Copies of this chain bind each other. A is one copy, B any other.
Amino acid sequence: MSITLEQAEQAVKAAKAKATEIGTLMNIAVVDAGANLKAFVHMDGAWLGSIDISQRKARTARYFDMPTGEIGKLSQPGGSLYNIEHSNGGLITFPGGIPIKDQSGEIIGAIGVSGSTVENDHTVAQAGVDAISE
């Protein structure tokens, strides 16, 4: 199973609402089960460099089926996945990417958010995830 466009648009809408609620301007990307881009929006005035980062976060989260921040803990100097960022054309491993599960718990895609602190990015991504999983 892969996320539908209707689900992806729900996730984007929920993430956008959360971004507005916490006073941030975000780039929001959703990828499908095959890690291919499904939906994307750039909020007016959001960082241009985060267009690319949000998509990389979403892909990274689906590539390894875990939140990007978890990978980042292991990719530090001396860590077991040191410099894993060099693979797959460039990964982003700080928080803001989260796998999306359907209500049965199956992973059907991922969301990546970039535009503020990594804590805010993660919060907005989680809002997108929750709109589908809950």
Residues of chain A having any CB pair with chain B under 8 Å: 2, 4-5, 8-9, 32-44, 47-53, 56, 59-60, 62-65, 72, 75-78, 80-95, 117-118
Contact = CB atoms under 8 A, between A and B. Distances in A.
Contacts of A37: 40, 42, 51
19 contacts: A5-B41, A32-B42, A33-B34, A34-B34, A34-B36, A36-B42, A36-B51, A37-B51, A48-B62, A49-B62, A49-B91, A56-B86, A75-B82, A76-B77, A76-B82, A80-B95, A82-B93, A82-B94, A83-B85
A95 B62 CA distance: 22
Contact of A41 (B9, B56, B117): B9
Given A35-B36, A47-B65, A49-B91, 11 more contacts: A5-B44, A8-B41, A35-B48, A39-B41, A47-B63, A52-B87, A52-B88, A56-B86, A82-B93, A83-B85, A86-B86
Contacts of A65: 47
Given A41-B38, A94-B80, A117-B80, A63 B48 contact: yes
